[in-house]
Structure 1
Amino acid sequence: MDLSSKIYVAGHRGLVGSAIVRKLEEKGYTNLVYRTSSELDLTDKNKVDSFFESEKPEYVFLAAAKVGGIVANNEYPADFIRDNLLIQTNVIDAAYRNGVQKLLFLGSTCIYPKFAPQPMNEDSLLTGILEPTNEPYAIAKIAGIKMCESYNRQYGTNYISVMPTNLYGPNDNFDLETSHVLPALIRKFHEAKLNETPTVEVWGTGKPRREFLYSDDLADASVYLMNTYEGNQFVNVGLGKDISIGELAEKIKAVVGYEGEIIYNTSKPDGTPRKLVDVTKLSEIGWEASISLDQGLKEAYDWFLTNIENATTVAK
């Protein structure tokens, strides 16, 4: 990408999209295009087509998606599969028909089988059953990968797919009904500290292991891959290290300064036992993460404190 290339960031106000915008601006890219969901409904094919026909972006970062944690995925499975299929289908097809030079599709490591060998290698896709709690979302993301691969094969496009591990950072979703575990814990511990609540409840046993990548690292990897990588094989992006939910809770408790007790609600689901991605392919391409979990947690909590009035509202 030239610094003057016209770049469309879909989902620019979300956790991932906002990080990509920050990274592009930091690197000197000046011709960025984006729309809020109220300005452009990406589930509406006609509106997406009109946008691409009028704007003619040269590069597209497809970071727009309907996302959420275990609660949201369990309660709104139809919304998750429908909206994500519509968004990615409309954007990928419009990109092809309007001559976009390159597109980067952002997926999720929930595409992997529930009991995939750890760390999860790109070759593990479609080798086993998915985690039931987020299967509709995962199937939509798998469809996005296959759509990019298929357009490359049939139409000669240059579309790449990136599968990030669990993400956190500025503009995260802190709504306890729809958020992922890390931002939910930040909010829980913060409110417990303010209210002097003696205990904080954590869902499950605390034993499942998860990997967490700061959103600015993903943005850096995405821009790097857009500029350097071509190929039909999608690429994992992660830190290469994982941590148990219990250990994560203790770290967040310390960052927030909460002095009460952690209680584990074992009647709630644990989800996948372990999710650690194999980042060998990414390392071979020439990129690795630079923000440690300890550093990222401090920065994420600082952002939450600065933006506390709006932090529990999902960006649109």
Structure 2
Amino acid sequence: MNPTLITLMGNVRLMCKTIIPTNVLGPHDNYNLEDSHVLPGLTHKYLLVKQNNSPFIFGGTGKLLRQFIYHTLVTLLSSLSGLFFVLVGEEDEASIKDVDLLIPLSRRFHLKANNYSDTSRAHGQFKTPASNDKLKKYLPDFEFTPFDLAVKESVEKFVSNFDQA
């Protein structure tokens, strides 16, 4: 843990949890087209593609890998008592192209993948893998939500609430 943080916490008697997630996804994420996480941004773009009956064009090759974590784990960690510092990452990785294929298959979109890759655009950042070893010490029996189910639930919530957002 950061020595400065430990000193500060000792001086003010503050209990602190530091949770560093990878790409979080979930129903209450930021779906803004300009500054969202990867999956919510792609979901929002897909909704616009469906509304406009246009092809979906994503930047780069889609081959870069990401680790995603469903919001329920971050919420669970936030509720634990005590002082800890933990990196949170899904054990499995998914390429942007894999994510790009999962979103339109959600029953809310009913789209066949009509995707085009614009390889002249930037690929995005390379992954920085996170290890769950420390997390497993805190929650040894925790089971991760399957990625396709997490995507489906996130897409469902966003599309259902798009008009109110």
Query: Which of 236, 239, 243 is residue 87 of structure 2 equivalent to?
Result: 236
Residues 47 and 159, structure 2, Cα contact 8 Å, conserved in 1: no
Corresponding position of 1:297: 151
Distance 1:193 1:248 in 2: 17
Is structure 2 residue 2 aligned with structure 1 residue 149? no
Which one of 166, 182, 185 corresponds to residue 42 of structure 2?
A: 185
> Alpha-carbon deviation of 1:230?
2.8
Task: Give the 3 Å change call, closer, same or farther, for CA 147–171 of structure 1 in structure 2.
Answer: farther
- Which structure carries more helix by proportion? 1
Larger Rg: 1
Q: Which of 23, 32, 39 is the equivalent residue of 1:166?
A: 23
Match of 2:60 in 1: 204
Structure 1 segments, 4+ long, off by >4 Å, are 153-156
Cα distance per residue 1:140-183 (max 9 Å; x no partner): xxxxx665333135555432311111111122222211212201
Which structure is higher in RCO with an 8 Å CA cutoff and minimum separation 6?
2
5 Å-filtered alignment, 1:4-153, equals: 148-153=5-10
TM-score by length of 2: 0.84
Superposition deviation, residue 275 in structure 1: 3.2
**Which letter does structure 2 place at the counterpart of 1:216?**
T
Tell me whether 1:279 sits opposite 2:132 in the alignment.
Answer: yes
Q: Give the Cα–Cα distance (whole angstroms) in 2 for the partners of residues 252 and 260 of structure 1.
A: 9
Separation in structure 2 between the aligned mates of residue 310 and residue 266 of structure 1, nearest angstrom: 35
Task: Answer whether contact 1:165 1:238 (CA < 8 A) is retained.
Answer: yes
For residues 171-217 of structure 1, the C-alpha deviation after alignment (integer angstroms, 9 at most, x for no partner) is: 222221121220111122222123221x2011222011111111122
| CA RMSD across the alignment | 2.2
| Paired residues, number | 162
Q: Contact 1:163 / 1:236 at 8 angstroms: preserved in 2? A: yes
- Alignment correspondent of 1:222: 78
Unaligned runs of 5+ in 1: 1-121, 123-144, 312-316
Q: CA deviation at 1:254?
A: 1.2
